[in-house]
A and B are shown apart, each in its own frame.
Chain A
Amino acid sequence: MKRLQVDIRQRRPIPLEVGLHCDRGELLALVGPSGSGKTSVLRCIAGLHHPTGRIVCGGEVWLDDARGIALPPQRRRVGFVFQDYALFPHLTVLQNLTLACRLPGDRAREKARRWLRRVHLAGLEDRLPDTLSGGQRQRVALARAMMRDPAVILLDEPFSAVDQVTRRRLRLEMAELKRRLRIPMILVTHDLEEAEMLADRMALIHRGRILQQGPPAEVMLRPVDAEAARLVDIRNLFRGRVIAVDRAGGRCRLRWEGGELEAPWRRSIPVGATVDWCIPPAGLLLHSRRRPSRGVRENPVRGRIVEIVRFGGRAQVVLVPVSAPERRLHLDLPLHVAERNRLAVGEPVGVSLLSRFIHLMAPRR
């Protein structure tokens, strides 16, 4: 198994304590706010920083401070795509690629041309980097990273320096490349959408520690704690108290802002515990104002609309619950639903917090 296994610690320049792995053909997204240490993790893997701990790639030990092993970047087979691409400005596109390859001249050039065709840059071999567009530079950087036949690909915010249209296209290309490459890939990003779109697994990093890792849907919808929830931009994040548990049914009752909600129960949560809980905007069901349905009895909450943002065929609606004027509930509806129900700021509405979408986080220790 060509797996990259990373267990590292360092105090400076920024504190890190990170354990992660990435399998062959897998793309792991390292997600976190700026300054969280995600780029430092990539630099440690590449050998540009020297933490303590162990880094093993496909059986090859790159770092093991206990055995005094710390290979320099040149001897770790990494393909690194830097945030601003770091193309050599005095070299042509072709030379940028051939320099990263130990093959003799003709064979290196042939290989470089092959990679340029693969990233749709055939014909630009003799151009200098500063005559290329952002998207083209990114592709050159990616092709250069591939020239070493890397054992792992490291991508440091590779889409941050291009416009939105280009970014969309490059992401699709990246998804295609990922399907064809049979090596571990680590993508550093602060863009959750990007991580969700490209990653097989996602690791949430904050203050140099990994808070949670797992499939993107899991991390985005089932955060381990309130801190993780905030990092993945969960807006419906509240605190309540578990007042009754139905162990057999796997359900519990949650007291929240004077009312009671039914929610799925997890074994680690005792009766009486104060817990953080969250629900995605898609887990809120709008009560039809014309035809009341059966769903209205599930965790009903009445409120008043304070904001509607229409965007991309959807309406993001914010409402204030009648029972909790300081709280805000965010729901996300297809635009036609919002229009059919004549939703407007100031209007009273009812919603159901669908029980199966409610996620309780383990109480703080």
Chain B
Amino acid sequence: MDWQALWVSLRLAAWTVALLIPAAVFLARLLAWRRFPGRLALEAVIALPLVLPPSVLGFYFLSFFNPGAPLGRWLMETTGTTLVFSFPGLVLASLVYSLPFAVQPLLRAFQAIPPQLREAAWCSGLGPWRTFWKIELPLARGGLLSALVLSFAHTLGEFGVVLMVGGNIPGRTRTLAVAIYDRVQAFDEAAAGRMSLFLLGFSLMAVMAVFAVERRR
């Protein structure tokens, strides 16, 4: 077992979830209740990672953020760092790649809240912020839990994007999924097997947890 890779994976998943969930809540509420121009396009962009090959995402990431590209150069000049082959770069790519896994369950949960409940809250004197905390979020808690579990598990299992964007730097960008690939390449099947079994078990539990939450709703 590559403990260092597991630690990178867990850190990556934790950061991704921490940053992704607030953004996903914002997007899901927007899509659930607002009609605005470009709504369809936004929905499509959010769902895109579901069908896009990870290597395509990785390719564009490298094209935009390598220090030779305008955006990458600007980032290098202002912050002195590059996102390519770095942990922050991995987090950014993971945010995009796991977006649908966080937005979709939240969107379904917010859409399931009858509009009259929000209106009843307003007519009871609750402002938008209190309505969100007291009514919307508690009623969407199933979707929130699903979004948490799915995006965490999905980030943990990422491979293509991680390899393209982060490379395979031990302790920095080598995640468990990349480590498995690495071990197989080195004919170390025992280590690959242990790590695969761990990811298999974890993913299965995550999916079962989501189903259990959905069923209780």
A residues touching B (Cβ–Cβ < 8 Å)?
A: 46-48, 72-74, 78-80, 82, 84, 86-90, 99-102, 144-145, 147-148
Q: Which residues of B contact A73 (CB under 8 A)?
A: 119, 122-123
User: In the assembled complex, which residues on chain A have CB atoms less than 8 Å from the CB atom of B124?
Assistant: 99-100, 144, 147-148
Determine whether the beta carbon of A82 is less than 8 Å from that of B119.
Answer: yes
Of the listed stretches B86-94, B134-142, B150-158, B174-182, chain A binds B134-142
CB distance from B36 to the nearest CB of A (A): 17
Q: Choose one: A72, A82, A90; the contact of B120 (CB below 8 Å).
A: A82
Q: Which of A82, A84, A90, A148 contacts B125 (CB 8 A)?
A: A148
A72, A82, A148: most-surrounded residue (chain B CB, <10 A): A82
| Min C-beta distance of B35 to chain A, whole Å | 12
Tell me, rounded to whole Å, the shortest Cβ–Cβ distance linking B129 to chain A.
Answer: 11
Q: In the complex the two chains form, what is the Cα distance from A137 to B116 in whole Å?
A: 15
B126 in the interface (beta carbon within 8 A) = yes
A47 to chain B, nearest CB (A): 8
> Interface residues of A: mostly helix, strand, loop or mixed?
loop
Return the CB mask of B98-124 against A: 1 if under 8 Å, else 0. 000000000000000010110111111
How many angstroms between the C-alpha atoms of A47 and B127 in the bound complex? 13
Most buried by A among B119, B121, B124: B124
**Residues in chain A near residue B135, CB distance under 8 A:** 88
Q: How far is the CA of A84 from the CA of B120 in the complex (A)?
A: 11
Q: Which residue of B lies closest to A150 (CB)?
A: B123
26 A-B residue pairs with Cβ-Cβ distance under 8 Å, sorted by A, are A46-B123, A47-B122, A72-B122, A73-B119, A74-B126, A78-B123, A80-B123, A82-B119, A82-B120, A86-B116, A86-B117, A86-B119, A86-B120, A87-B120, A88-B117, A88-B121, A89-B117, A89-B139, A90-B139, A99-B121, A99-B126, A100-B124, A100-B125, A100-B126, A147-B124, A148-B125
Collect the chain A residues with CB atoms within 8 Å of residue B119's CB: 46, 48, 73, 80, 82, 86
CA of A47 to CA of B114 in the docked complex: distance in angstroms? 18
The smallest C-beta distance from B131 to any residue of chain A, in angstroms, reads 9
Contacts of A147 in B (CB 8 A): 124
Nearest-neighbour CB distance to chain B for A253, whole angstroms, equals 55
Q: Is the CB of A99 within 8 A of B134?
A: yes
In the complex formed, the residue of B with least CB distance to A141 is: B120
| 6 further contact pairs, Cβ within 8 A, besides A82-B119, A82-B120 | A46-B123, A74-B122, A74-B127, A80-B123, A86-B114, A90-B139
- Cα(A92)–Cα(B116), bound, Å: 18
CB-based contact A48/B114 at 8 Å: no
- Complex alpha-carbon distance, A102 and B120, angstroms: 15
What are the residues of chain A within 8 A of B114 when measuring CB–CB? 86
From A46, A72, A82, A86, residue with most partner B Cβ within 10 Å: A86
Closest A-B pairs by Cβ, 7 of them: A100-B124, A86-B120, A73-B122, A86-B116, A80-B123, A90-B138, A73-B123
The reply to whether A80 and B138 contact each other, CB–CB distance below 8 Å, is no
- Among residues of B, the one whose C-beta sits closest to the C-beta of A87 is B120
Q: Smallest CB–CB gap between B34 and chain A, Å?
A: 16
- Give the complex CA separation of A87 and B123 in angstroms: 12
Q: How far is it, in angstroms, between the C-alpha of A48 and the C-alpha of B125 when the chains are bound?
A: 13
Complex alpha-carbon distance, A101 and B130, angstroms: 13
Complex: chain B residue closest to A80, CB-CB = B123
- Contact between chains at A74 and B125 (CB < 8 Å): yes
Bound CA–CA A82/B123 (angstroms): 10
Chain A residue, CB-CB nearest to B120: A86
Q: How far is the CA of A86 from the CA of B118 in the complex (A)?
A: 9
Residue numbers in A under 8 Å from B116 (CB-CB): 82, 84, 86
Q: How far is the CA of A82 from the CA of B117 in the complex (A)?
A: 9
Chain B, residue nearest A90 (CB): B138
Shortest A89–chain B CB gap in Å is 7
A82 vs B122: C-alpha distance when bound (angstroms): 12
Question: In the complex, A87→B121 CA distance in Å?
Answer: 9
Chain B residues with Cβ under 8 A from A79's Cβ?
123
Residue of B nearest to A148 (CB): B125
Q: Cβ of A80: which chain B residues have Cβ within 8 Å of it?
A: 119-120, 123
Question: Which chain B residue lies CB-closest to A82?
Answer: B116
Min distance, Cβ A60 to any Cβ of chain B, angstroms: 15
- Shortest C-beta distance, B121 to chain A (Å), equals 8
> Closest chain A residue to B131 by CB distance?
A74
A208 CB to nearest B CB, Å: 21
User: In the complex, what distance in Å separates the CA atom of A352 from the CA atom of B166?
Assistant: 97
